[in-house]
Amino acid sequence: MDRRTFERIVDEALEEIPEEILERIDNVAVVVADRPPHDVDPDGTLLGLYEGVSLKDRGIDYTAVLPDTITIYREPHLALGLDEAGLRAEIRKTVLHEIAHHLGIDERRLHQLGWD
């Protein structure tokens, strides 16, 4: 799958987020990269990464900061060897997982929700 198609699927996943959740998202950019940096993920299997200060952890002094970043990694998704429907579902799951981190939901709770 080429990068343009992958980016379109990420955009579609973002468009599916319910309005009440979209209204809570603040100061975050979602980007696509081919692969995670080696120092972050030496195995190259990381599907997505949230970097920033979650909404839950922001205080009154959270001002004039660069946007948080959610990065969705294309090559690790493709390496899963899924058919197109499975790949779309996995991309959607990764996008939702990283948005959940932005909202302040930790890994333990994501596991309970089945979003890990």
CATH code for the domain of 66: 3.30.2010.20
pLDDT score of 115: 65
Q: Quote the domain boundaries for residue 42.
A: 3-113
CA end-to-end span of the chain = 23
- Say if pTM beats, i.e. exceeds, 0.75: yes
pLDDT score of 101: 87
Q: 77-104 burial, b for 16+ CB within 10 Å, e for fewer?
A: beeeeeeeeebbebbbbbbbbbbbbbbe
Outline where DSSP puts E strands in 9-116. 28-33, 48-51, 68-73
Q: Average pLDDT by consecutive 10-residue portion of the chain (116 residues)? A: 97 92 88 96 94 79 83 98 96 93 84 72
Sign of CA dihedral 69, 75, 81, 82: positive
Q: For the beta carbon of residue 37, count every other beta carbon within 10 angstroms.
A: 13
pLDDT score of 116: 63
pLDDT score of 21: 85
Give how many domains the chain has, as a whole number.
1
C-alpha span between 93 and 47 (Å, rounded): 10
pLDDT score of 65: 74
Q: For the beta carbon of residue 28, count every other beta carbon within 10 angstroms.
A: 19
